[in-house]
Amino acid sequence: MYNSKIAGLGYYVPENVVTNHDLSKVMDTSDEWIQERTGIKERRHVIKGTDTTTSMGVKAAKIAIERAGIDKNDIDFIIFATLSPDYYFPGPGVLVQRDLEIDTVGALDVRNQCSGFVYAISVADQYVKSGMYQNVLVVGSELHSHGLDMTTRGRGVSVIFGDGAGAAVISREEDSTKGILSTHLHSEGQHAEELSLIAPGMGKRWVLDILKDNDPEDESYFPYMNGQFVFKNAVVRFSEVIMEGLQKNKLAPTDIDILIPHQANLRISQFVQKKFGLSDDQVYNNIMSYGNTTAASIPIALTEAWEEGKVKEGDLVVLAAFGSGFTWGSAIIRW
Ligand code: COA
């Protein structure tokens, strides 16, 4: 049995900055409302015809691979987490394999929304620990802006989400005291529709009927979120799954050097920070600048924290996520 570690990190966000003020020009909202409820000041939106979910993921992946100090052909397997794939099928994993021009390694797509990156590194961790693979590329990327309802009707959801990508190379680590110590994953499908995008699923309608209806008023093509219900569940599940991870490793909240929570909402992060008695330096947040980038939020935040010197060798790093499904998870890492 080997150990696994995060050997390289990278992120990419599109250049186009969309402020709360910009949004208030197209829908009935305000900078004050958005900042007070979510902490978000601005986010990035891809300009149509430039980036895709895959192209952003590829840009982040190239940086992560270079920082891992390996050649792209040393990648043994690709895992891609997203809720906004380029195509209905195939998923973006194979597109990364093609666009990076690497060998015909396996490519797996993860559909776990905001928990996608934690689920993906958990899968990568098992492959590396078992000895099956030495280097697994994990990408989280989202292009939300092309699928949001940018009118007052959609304001409860559309102001929160942003575009971007993050990537990590998970590699074999010989030192058994270092690396990914454990991961913890959960789901509760009972609440599947509370945060969801129902169409164009095959669940209830024939595709020919969908095309025939061609109804611009059909809200099932836009994401739906029961905001307060999601908030209440998030604060409970974040806390539970962080505690579960710490206990599994016989650690306490006081052992945490840095917590990188999924950037769902600054108020959720602050609730968790208070619950665990962590200082501002012990919780990394960048939702103010990027909004909620779903599967990309943890790798973007982790990369930024690492670049700023806030993730150091020997640190206990905790990743935690909650989102649509509901799904939630944590990863406990000795850097
Ligand atoms: N700008 C201005 N007003 C808005 C608005 C916006 N962008 N979005 C909603 N409103 C209005 C609503 O229409 C409602 O008006 P009403 O009282 O006249 O009916 C009012 O604000 C309150 O709406 P509500 O949905 O109750 O607000 P809230 O306090 O619950 O905040 C969220 C909404 C979405 C910010 C909050 O519920 C939340 O953060 N939830 C968790 C979201 C999350 O983390 N999602 C990702 C999970 S991974």
pLDDT of residue 42: 98
- Distance from C-alpha of 136 to C-alpha of 212, rounded to nearest angstrom: 43
Bridge partner list, 187? 327
Higher confidence at residue 309 or residue 199? 309
End-to-end CA distance of the chain: 19
Nearest CA to ligand 1 atom 1: 29
Closest CA to 323 of 64, 61, 86, 142: 142
Cβ of 264 below 6 Å from ligand 1:
yes
Q: In what order do the strands lie in the sheet containing 179-187? A: 179-187, 327-334, 316-323, 258-261
Cβ of 159 below 6 Å from ligand 1:
yes
Gap from CA of 311 to ligand 1 centroid (Å):
33
To test the pocket of ligand 1, the residue of 231, 271, 328 to mutate (highest count of ligand atoms within 8 Å of its CB) is 231
Q: How confident is the model at residue 207 (pLDDT cuts 50, 70, 90)?
A: confident
Nearest CA to ligand 1 atom 21: 156
Q: Which atom of ligand 1 is nearest to the CA of 294?
A: 48
Cβ of 200 below 6 Å from ligand 1:
no
pLDDT of residue 204: 74
Active site residue 226: no
Digit-coded pLDDT (tens) for 14-38: 999 999 999 999 999 999 999 999 9
Gap from CA of 156 to ligand 1 centroid (Å):
5
Contact yes or no for 326/116 (Cβ under 8 A): no
Closest CA to 262 of 128, 160, 155: 160
Digit-coded pLDDT (tens) for 76-98: 999 999 999 999 999 999 999 99
Cβ of 154 below 6 Å from ligand 1:
no
Active site residue 292: yes
- Distance from C-alpha of 117 to C-alpha of 296, rounded to nearest angstrom: 7
Cβ of 237 below 6 Å from ligand 1:
no
Mean pLDDT, all residues of the chain: 96
Digit-coded pLDDT (tens) for 195-206: 999 988 888 778
> Would you say residue 281 has pLDDT above 80?
yes
pLDDT of residue 89: 95
Give span(s): CATH 3.40.47.10, the chain: 3-173, 179-196+221-334
**Could you tell me the sign of the dihedral formed by the alpha carbons of 78, 81, 84, 87, in that order?**
positive
Helix extents (H) in the chain? 20-24, 31-38, 53-68, 92-99, 116-130, 155-158, 207-213, 227-248, 266-275, 287-290, 297-307
Within 69-178, strands assigned E span 77-81, 106-110, 135-142, 164-173
Contact yes or no for 56/141 (Cβ under 8 A): yes
Bridge partner list, 165? 12, 141
pLDDT of residue 225: 95
**CATH code for the structural domain at 179-196+221-334:** 3.40.47.10
Q: Are strands 17-19 and 42-44 parallel, antiparallel or unpaired?
A: antiparallel
Question: How many residues are present in the chain?
Answer: 335
Gap from CA of 108 to ligand 1 centroid (Å):
34
- Distance from C-alpha of 168 to C-alpha of 9, rounded to nearest angstrom: 5
pLDDT of residue 5: 98
Phi, psi of 210 (to 5 degrees): -60, -45
- Distance from C-alpha of 277 to C-alpha of 279, rounded to nearest angstrom: 7
Contact yes or no for 83/111 (Cβ under 8 A): yes
Cβ of 292 below 6 Å from ligand 1:
yes
Tokens of 236: 């409970």
pLDDT of residue 46: 98
Bridge partner list, 173? 3
Active site residue 114: yes
Peptide bond connecting 326 to the previous residue in cis, omega within 30 degrees of 0? yes
Contact yes or no for 3/125 (Cβ under 8 A): no
Closest CA to 256 of 245, 264, 267, 266: 245
**Fold classification of 3-173 (topology level):** Peroxisomal Thiolase; Chain A, domain 1 (3.40.47)
